[in-house]
């Protein structure tokens, strides 16, 4: 009588490990790219929401808000930091960054405001990232 062996051979286990390694090598760059795009999209979305809240604030106070705290209703995505660098009755400028992710900065300005220093924004009202 022959005995039946239970389990996998060493060759079978090594083949599975190699296949998993190849799949991980293919999938990880795509994962990091999607994560990068999600962070940029969060910053762009938050700047657009800020623009809406700035207009609401301007309608009430006849000037633009100088900080996110003054505007009140702006809810930022987790990890997004927005700095309003300029605000008066004729325009505002802001810059968004992502915590612990300094590779990308997004900016926007409205009206006669000068773009934030180092901001990629070049056209009024357009959220631009670099």
What mean pLDDT is reported for the chain? 92
Distance in angstroms (rounded) separating the CA atoms of residues 81 and 88:
21
In the chain, where the domains are located: 10-129
pLDDT tens profile 73-82? 788 999 999 9
pLDDT of residue 1: 63
Confidence bin at 67 (pLDDT 50/70/90):
very high
What is the pTM assigned to this prediction?
A: 0.82
């Amino acid at each position: 009588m022959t005995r039946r062996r239970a389990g996998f051979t060493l060759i079978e286990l090594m083949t599975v490990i190699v296949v998993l390694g190849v799949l991980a090598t293919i999938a990880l760059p795509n994962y990091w790219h999607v994560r990068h795009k999600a962070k940029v999209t969060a910053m762009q979305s938050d700047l657009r929401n800020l623009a809406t809240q700035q207009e609401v604030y301007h309608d009430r106070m006849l000037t633009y808000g100088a900080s996110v705290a003054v505007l009140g209703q702006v809810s930022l995505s987790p990890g997004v930091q927005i700095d309003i660098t300029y605000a008066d009755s004729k325009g505002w400028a802001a810059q968004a960054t992502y915590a612990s992710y300094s590779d990308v900065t997004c900016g926007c300005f409205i009206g006669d405001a000068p773009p934030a220093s180092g901001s990629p924004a070049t056209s009024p009202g357009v959220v631009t990232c670099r």
